[in-house]
Amino acid sequence: MSKILITGGAGFIGSHVVRLFVNKYPHYEIYNLDKLTYAGNLENLKDIEASENYNFIKGDIVDQDFVQELFQAHKFDSVIHLAAESHVDRSISNPTEFIFANIVGTVNLLNVAKSIWDEDGNNIFYHVSTDEVYGSLGNEGLFEETTPYDPRSPYSASKASSDHLARAYWHTFNVPIKISNCSNNYGSHQFPEKLIPLMINNIQHNKSLPVYGAGENVRDWLWVVDHARAIDVVFHNGKIGETYNIGGHNEWKNLDLIHLLCDIMDEKLAREEGTSRELITFVKDRAGHDMRYAIDSSKIEKELGWIPSITFEQGLEQTVDWYLENKEWLDRVTSGAYQEYYSAQYQ
C-alpha cells in the first residue's frame, strides 16, 4: 500500500486532489496535512472524511521538527506538495509570510525526504507550482517549460524559489522530484477572495465588482477538476526530474470574463439582463500586475495524454451553480465561522 502525504489538502486545489486520490485509489493511504488557515477548510472534504484510506493531520510545514517527526512516524512513500500562501494581494501586504510558507516550508519537506528516502526507493516528491513564476507575456507567445523565470510579485518570487530548490535537490541530492506549473484555477470550494468566487458572492449581495485598472489583463483559466486529473497523470506517469505546464487553452481578459459571469448570474437569479454589469467598478491597478499569462500544455498532452475535459463556459456555469447551491458554505467561509470550529477541534 502506498502512503501519500498531500500538503495543503484542505485548500481549494488540494481538496480536489485529495478527493480524487481517495476515491480513485482505495489501495492508497492518503494523508492530508493542512495548517487550516483562512483558506484551508475541512468542510471541503466532508464527503470523503469517513473513508477508510483517508487521514487528516493538522500541522505547519514551516515547523521543521514537526515535519521530521511526521515523516518518521508514517514513513510516507511520496509527497504531493500543494501547501502554499497563494494570493498575490496578500503577498504584497505581507511578503514575509510567503517566504516562510512557500520557501522554508518546501525546504523542510525536501530535507526530510532527502534524509529518510533511500535513493533506490520508489518515491516521488511532486511540487505543484504556478505559471506566475514566468512573469508577464506580451500580446503574443505562450509560457513553455523552458521559459526563463521572471517573477514580479512576492508570491510568484516565493514560488519560483521553491521550484528552483526542488530542482536543486534533484540534481544535488537525487531527491526524485516532479514539478508542474498551472494556470489560474476556478471551480467549487475556492475561497472568495479570488476573482470568480468574489464576483459571484458580490453579485448575489448586490455589492460592487472591483476590477483592477481597465480590466485588460489576460489569464488562462483551468477548471480545478481538470487540474486534479492532470496532477494524477503527472504523479503516476510523468518522468522524474521533469516539469509539466498545465493550462486550459482558455485566455480571457478580466473584464470579458466578468461580463460573462454577470450575464450568467443575471439568468440564474432571474434578474434583468445587464443588471449585474452595473455593479462593475474600476479600481487602482494592483502593484506589479502582470499583463498576460498563457500556457503551452503541449508537453503534457503529447507525452501523458492529458487534455481539458470541458469548455470554460461549461465549467463556469457549473461553478456558478455550485456556489448558488452552497450559500451556507459561502456564508460560513466569509464569516470565518468554520475556522473557529475546526481550530477548537484540532488543537
Provide DSSP, 52-84: TTEEEEE--TT-HHHHHHHHHHH--SEEEE---
Annotated catalytic, 251?
A: no
Catalytic residue among 31, 126, 134, 155: 155
For residue 31, the tally of other CB atoms under 10 A from its CB is: 21
CA–CA separation, 211 and 281 (whole Å): 6
The predicted structure's pLDDT at residue 77: 96
Q: Which has the closest alpha carbon to 300: 169, 180, 213?
A: 180
Q: What percent of the chain has pLDDT over 90?
A: 82
According to CATH, what is the number of the domain 3-187+221-249+293-310+338-345?
3.40.50.720
Give the pLDDT mean for 312-335: 90
pLDDT digits (tens, 9 = 90+) for 203-218: 999 999 999 999 999 9
AA identity, residue 226: D
What is residue 143's DSSP assignment?
B
**Residue 120 pLDDT exceeds 80:** no
- Exactly one of 132, 163, 226, 251 is catalytic; which is it? 132
Q: Is 155 a catalytic residue?
A: yes
User: What are the domain boundaries of the chain?
Assistant: 3-187+221-249+293-310+338-345
pLDDT exceeds 60 at position 346:
no
For residues 294-320, one letter each, b for 16 or more C-beta atoms within 10 angstroms of the residue's C-beta and e for the rest, the string is bbbbebbbeebebebeeebeebbbebb
Strand order in the sheet with 177-182: 54-58, 29-34, 3-7, 78-81, 124-130, 177-182, 243-246
pTM for the complete prediction? 0.93
Catalytic choice (29, 34, 60, 131): 131
Inform me whether the pLDDT recorded for 146 exceeds 80: yes
Give the model's pLDDT for residue 56.
98
What the block records as the C-alpha cell of 310 is 470541458
Is the pLDDT assigned to residue 343 strictly greater than 80? no
